[in-house]
Amino acid sequence: MRATEFLLATEKETPADAVVVSHQLMLRSGMIRKLAAGLYTWMPLGLRSLRKVEAIVREEMDRAGAQEVLMPAVQPAELWHESGRWFQYGGELLRLKDRHQRDFCVGPTHEEVITDLARNQLSSYKQLPINLYQIQTKFRDETRPRFGVMRSREFIMKDAYSFHLTADSLQQTYDRMHQAYTRIFERLGLDFRPVLADTGSIGGAHSHEFHVLAESGEDDIAFSNASDYAANVELAEALAPAGERPAASQELSVVDTGDATSVEDVAKQLNVGLEQVLKAIVVRGESEAEDAEDGEAGEPVVLFLRGDHSLNEIKAEKLPGVLSPLQFASEEDVQGIGGVPGSTGPRNLSARCYVDRSAAHMADFFCGANHAGQHHAGFNWQRDAELPEVVDLRNVEAGDPSPCGQGTLEIKRGIEVGHIFQLGRKYSEAMNAKVLDENGKAQTLMMGCYGIGVSRVVAAAIEQNHDDNGIIWPDAIAPFHVGIVPMNLHRSEAVQQATEQLYQDLQQAGFDVYVDDRDKKTSPGVKFADMELMGIPHRIVISDRGLEAGQVEYKQRRGGDAQDIAVDAIVDHLRQTIAC
Amino acid sequence: MRATEFLLATEKETPADAVVVSHQLMLRSGMIRKLAAGLYTWMPLGLRSLRKVEAIVREEMDRAGAQEVLMPAVQPAELWHESGRWFQYGGELLRLKDRHQRDFCVGPTHEEVITDLARNQLSSYKQLPINLYQIQTKFRDETRPRFGVMRSREFIMKDAYSFHLTADSLQQTYDRMHQAYTRIFERLGLDFRPVLADTGSIGGAHSHEFHVLAESGEDDIAFSNASDYAANVELAEALAPAGERPAASQELSVVDTGDATSVEDVAKQLNVGLEQVLKAIVVRGESEAEDAEDGEAGEPVVLFLRGDHSLNEIKAEKLPGVLSPLQFASEEDVQGIGGVPGSTGPRNLSARCYVDRSAAHMADFFCGANHAGQHHAGFNWQRDAELPEVVDLRNVEAGDPSPCGQGTLEIKRGIEVGHIFQLGRKYSEAMNAKVLDENGKAQTLMMGCYGIGVSRVVAAAIEQNHDDNGIIWPDAIAPFHVGIVPMNLHRSEAVQQATEQLYQDLQQAGFDVYVDDRDKKTSPGVKFADMELMGIPHRIVISDRGLEAGQVEYKQRRGGDAQDIAVDAIVDHLRQTIAC
């Protein structure tokens, strides 16, 4: 591609409303343009990378035996009523009415449509397992779309859905998808981790997320420093401290803590470490009345943690009797169970209680005295209050022992770009999708689903690969592999000829080549800067002086010095250097 | 692809609600499945052909210097207000509100979005000409979606938009697109014609439609039998009859025609040919009052045609004073201008009149007498009534002289699959899209647009290429080039080995291969029938008997006898035979 024939749209200024680096660089390099909140046009530069991601995803899905389909983006409400999600899904589902006033949505996902297809097309176990995928535009009506295509409203997903007779078969396809995803992100050239993930509201049993590691990631990922173990902090297990709980060595007493109510203020006031103070968090419970509806609130539940630990809400809302999603109790609720906001402790509390494994290991600790302005000191479980049920309630922290038993945990930030999921029978049961088994008996299908945020991958790749000058593309998804800057192009016939020849040769070798043939009004400095901003990984400068020595100058975007390479060796050099 | 690993979904029965052949065959062969009215899922078989069409379109657009972009499917209403189409577009525009109650639509086309992009990105004549395209899902909320993907609500379009400083530059890109479209439809292997087309409500000057010829087409196309001339009948000019109008030879008289009111009944009653009777059609006029709004009705207008000719409504509604879109006048309106429904004639009519070129050439003819139950005989223009303004008002017919001056016209039916259009400044003016010219003066952009109905092409290809047994794919867009039927596969090791070898060899030669490896419960007859239904253009049968002679059986789907071909010659044979 020649610059003069290309919709080059680089910008010097960082747009004011772009807060993350990928959003800034995608706008500045001219990859995308905003149409409206959360809606972006992919410009020629951006689309080139997007299509390369798509192609790799498609090749690996095909290789893994999945079959490509294309479902409508606009979906009838009836199916969403069947699954129960028409009302459950909330404001992110873009609902609409057609000209006949029938309800539809612009699909944020396709479980309902594919399950409908499956129940119509699949009748026998002989057709199983089957794995169908599509690469398609989806819509999620985010309240606050942000970060460019990282959290846009319209986006491109690869979504796959597999159907099975048995859990074993589902596990096999799940493993195959795990492998395919690993290949995909390896081929994309990204530093990534598959991590154990929470199955969330979508239900189902097993789940892994694939995260591209980047400081700007929204998720915390916990890794073992000595094994392959990786999990979203949401899910990572916090082990119980080793050994027995220390024996009580102090008398129980009451201390004045004035108007200190937060665990931090109390610890400060008492001049002790946070880890010596027990923290009580009161949340709303789920009604256990027989005629209660799902999600109806009941008696409050108290959660105890060590003062220096943070509550893991995902773990908490899975506990029996706790309302999900998690809601904190009101002051009246706290008083109703005998607690005092800011001074709630385990003694004489009339509520269901849980204690975190680490908090259960505390001895001679401080905790609320259920009396305003007072706390207990020298508190010990079992002696001063019954030990509540011990559970894993906290977020893991760097330095914790890894739950895999090997090494300690490190925590890094990641951007979720893929998610694989064993859905089980959630949708097939609701929508009555069955096949006949070997005995002629109807069996509800088992189901898995496997997503990749194709447009999000592009942004995540930039978050991971950039410097102050712009993007640094991995070869596999670079819009152009090679950029040529011809010096003095419009005056030197030698440079013209060498440029044209190299442009043709590199294209024939299978590379995507960009030649900055803009006239002399655009200085070489501007051309270099644009190429760095656009992230073209390999740069060649052609000049009269170089040509006189039979050489061109070669430089990698990622760093290292410029090298002079013989004109007739440069194509081979790139063949050996470029990984795609 | 092996049948046992493929979502094969052939059906014997023709679905009751499918009336056109392509819709029937796409359902029966398992290419598509209906999700809801006008919404279809592309199954693996169908998607293979769709993607091949897409790839050819993309290659030729790139070759013609167009740059690919991807605009959002969901578009903000603001832009449609700017162009004036938010209200003009009617019920086919799928309007919706997001969670913040802002108006959006699911785009049926992208003139507004691209013009917005152009006004933001283009500032100088140096960036011109530029041609941007996308291949994307669109939505048109048809009142009565029908014919499967031929007139679905959700569909895939390639839409391109070019921007220019001058009409000459627009014409150059338009010509280049004309050539690119010609290459595309040639490469797709379709019998097609570019035809002159009406520019319709979208406005602009020049326009060609690309039609795939098929008996089931919705459009009539007029061709010269002696030149390249082709035009949509909507547009094709009907020349004036040669020579002078014959002189009057009869006296004017009045004849009783009883209750005959249609021109057919009148001719029958009088026992004369339709071509001897003048037909009057009264339509609503446009108000000429100074304060009239666009589209406000005024005085009726009378159109005279020869009884055997049909009114061309497109031509009529372009006439000065005629309301567009065309509306027929009420009986009261007809009486108001001195006419009598069923007996309206030119004499003493107080209305603006137009006469078709052929009707103006009539002499001694019959026409309404503006008196119930009576017609005139021996009527002659200028003697018995003033000759109204002579215009081209009728549809051309087979046998008419071609307007190009060479040969006569033939009429065939076509399916519109492409449309190229010179929009001029319609959108750029409404949306203020300007660039600076060489003198630094702001100039409103000239614009062209170029569409291909990608999903429609697939259906049109089937309408043109099928027989009683199913689809007959052109090689270039066949889901599979070659189908292999191994006889007795599960018992003969020789057949197994030969099948596997040929499957690998053909794939290595670059062909898409389908092997029907279903077990013996599926008879060879069923396999042959499925392959014919799916339209696989080249079939190879591998049997023990053939292998003993070192041969396989080869047959083309399009017809011709089966041939025995040496096993080691078959790949080369296919290389020479398959055109893609």
| Residue A296's pLDDT band (cuts 50, 70, 90) | confident
| B295 against B305, higher pLDDT | B305
At residue A45, the pLDDT reads 98
Percentage of residues in chain A with pLDDT exceeding 90? 90
Q: Which of A34, A98, A110 to mutate to test the interface with B (most CBs of B within 10 A)?
A: A98
Residue with tokens 């005056």: A491
- Over residues A177-202, the mean pLDDT reads 88
Interchain proximity A94–B96, CB inside 8 Å: yes
Most confident of A222-231, A264-273, B201-210, B286-295: A264-273
- Asked if residue B41 has pLDDT above 80, the reply is yes
Which residues are paired to A33 by β-bridges? A41
| Residue B200's pLDDT band (cuts 50, 70, 90) | low
Which residues are paired to A410 by β-bridges? A223
Which residues are paired to A418 by β-bridges? A210, A452
| Residue A580's pLDDT band (cuts 50, 70, 90) | low
Interchain proximity A35–B71, CB inside 8 Å: yes
Q: How far apart, in whole angstroms, are the C-alpha atoms of residue B379 and residue B23?
A: 52
A97 contacts in B (CB within 8 Å)? Answer: 96
> Which value, in Å, is the radius of gyration of the alpha carbons in chain B?
29
Q: Are A446 and A170 within 8 A, CB to CB? A: yes
State how far residue B104 is from chain A, nearest Cα, in angstroms.
10
Please state which CATH number belongs to domain B21-236+411-462.
Answer: 3.30.930.10
Interchain proximity A141–B99, CB inside 8 Å: yes
A116 at B interface, C-beta within 8 A: yes
B47 at A interface, C-beta within 8 A: yes
Q: Are A307 and A360 within 8 A, CB to CB? A: no
At residue A199, the pLDDT reads 66
- Over residues A448-470, the mean pLDDT reads 97
The 10s digit of each residue's pLDDT in B354-396 is 999 999 999 999 999 999 999 999 999 999 999 999 999 999 9
| Residue A468's pLDDT band (cuts 50, 70, 90) | very high
- Over residues A213-232, the mean pLDDT reads 91
Q: Decide which of 3.40.50.150, 3.40.50.2020, 3.30.450.20, 3.40.50.800 is the CATH code for A480-577.
A: 3.40.50.800
CATH architecture of A253-391: Alpha-Beta Complex (3.90)
State how far residue A50 is from chain B, nearest Cα, in angstroms.
10
pTM for the model stands at: 0.88
- Asked if residue A196 has pLDDT above 90, the reply is no
Q: Which of B1, B2, B7, B102 to mutate to test the interface with A (most CBs of A within 10 A)?
A: B7
A154 contacts in B (CB within 8 Å)? Answer: 72-74
The 10s digit of each residue's pLDDT in B553-567 is 999 999 989 999 999
Q: How far apart, in whole angstroms, are the C-alpha atoms of residue B302 and residue B283?
A: 6
At residue B197, the pLDDT reads 83
- Asked if residue A64 has pLDDT above 60, the reply is yes
- Over residues B271-299, the mean pLDDT reads 88
Interchain proximity B6–A67, CB inside 8 Å: yes
A47 contacts in B (CB within 8 Å)? Answer: 68-70
Percentage of residues in chain B with pLDDT exceeding 70? 98
Give the residue from chain A lying closest to B126, CA to CA: A4
Give the residue from chain B lying closest to A94, CA to CA: B98
SS (H, E, C) A230-263: EEECCCCCCCCCCCCCCCCCCCCEEEECCCCCCH
- Over residues B322-335, the mean pLDDT reads 93
- Asked if residue A311 has pLDDT above 90, the reply is yes
State how far residue A121 is from chain B, nearest Cα, in angstroms.
7
What ipTM was estimated for this complex? Answer: 0.88
Chain B (81-110) residues lying within 8 Å, Cβ to Cβ, of chain A: 91-92, 94-99, 104, 106
State how far residue A66 is from chain B, nearest Cα, in angstroms.
9
- Asked if residue B425 has pLDDT above 70, the reply is yes
Give the residue from chain B lying closest to A121, CA to CA: B9
A130 at B interface, C-beta within 8 A: yes
Interchain proximity A106–B74, CB inside 8 Å: yes
Q: CB within 8 A of B561, min separation 6: which ones?
A: B555
A71 contacts in B (CB within 8 Å)? Answer: 35, 41-42
| Residue A400's pLDDT band (cuts 50, 70, 90) | very high
Q: Are A369 and A343 within 8 A, CB to CB? A: yes
Residue with tokens 């170089």: A546
The 10s digit of each residue's pLDDT in B153-169 is 999 999 999 999 999 99
B249 CB neighbour count, 10 Å cutoff: 9
- Asked if residue B434 has pLDDT above 70, the reply is yes
Interchain proximity A41–B113, CB inside 8 Å: yes
B43 contacts in A (CB within 8 Å)? Answer: 69
Give the residue from chain A lying closest to B142, CA to CA: A99
Nearest CB to A33; choose among B47, B106, B117 = B117
At residue B333, the pLDDT reads 94
Q: Which alpha helices (DSSP H) does B149-212 contain, by range?
A: 167-187
B56: Cα separation from own chain's centroid: 19
Interchain proximity B47–A65, CB inside 8 Å: no
B11 at A interface, C-beta within 8 A: no
Q: Which alpha helices (DSSP H) does B64-142 contain, by range?
A: 77-83, 85-88, 111-121
Residue spans of the domains in chain A: they are 21-236+411-462, 253-391, 480-577
At residue B290, the pLDDT reads 77
Q: CB within 8 A of B526, min separation 6: which ones?
A: none
Nearest CB to B141; choose among A36, A98, A132 = A98
The 10s digit of each residue's pLDDT in A14-46 is 888 899 999 999 999 999 999 999 999 999 999
Q: How far apart, in whole angstroms, are the C-alpha atoms of residue A174 and residue A159?
A: 14
At residue B199, the pLDDT reads 66
B26 at A interface, C-beta within 8 A: no
Q: Are A244 and A360 within 8 A, CB to CB? A: no
Interchain proximity A44–B68, CB inside 8 Å: yes
Interchain proximity B120–A39, CB inside 8 Å: no
B143 at A interface, C-beta within 8 A: yes
A75 at B interface, C-beta within 8 A: yes
Q: Are B441 and B123 within 8 A, CB to CB? A: no
For residues B168-188, one letter each, b for 16 or more C-beta atoms within 10 angstroms of the residue's C-beta and e for the rest, the string is ebbbebbebbbebbbebbebb
B163 contacts in A (CB within 8 Å)? Answer: none
pLDDT averaged over every residue in chain B: 95
At residue A473, the pLDDT reads 98
| Residue B191's pLDDT band (cuts 50, 70, 90) | very high
pLDDT averaged over every residue in chain A: 94
Give the residue from chain A lying closest to B43, CA to CA: A69
The 10s digit of each residue's pLDDT in B500-517 is 999 999 999 999 999 999
Which residues are paired to B566 by β-bridges? B551
Residue with tokens 């003993």: B548
Nearest CB to A69; choose among B42, B65, B141 = B42
State how far residue A194 is from chain B, nearest Cα, in angstroms.
28
> Which value, in Å, is the radius of gyration of the alpha carbons in chain A?
29
- Over residues A537-543, the mean pLDDT reads 98
Q: Please, what is the Cα angle at A72 between A163 and A59, to 5 degrees?
A: 60
Least confident of A19-33, A284-298, B106-120: A284-298
Q: Quick one: which of A36, A67, A196, A201 has its CA closest to A135?
A: A67
Q: Are B208 and B448 within 8 A, CB to CB? A: no
At residue B295, the pLDDT reads 73
Give the residue from chain A lying closest to B105, CA to CA: A96
| Residue B439's pLDDT band (cuts 50, 70, 90) | very high
State how far residue A1 is from chain B, nearest Cα, in angstroms.
10
- Asked if residue B305 has pLDDT above 60, the reply is yes
B332 CB neighbour count, 10 Å cutoff: 9
The 10s digit of each residue's pLDDT in A493-529 is 999 999 999 999 999 999 999 999 999 899 999 999 9
Q: Quick one: which of B411, B78, B45, B406 has its CA closest to B222?
A: B411
At residue A371, the pLDDT reads 95
Percentage of residues in chain B with pLDDT exceeding 90? 90
- Over residues B393-418, the mean pLDDT reads 95
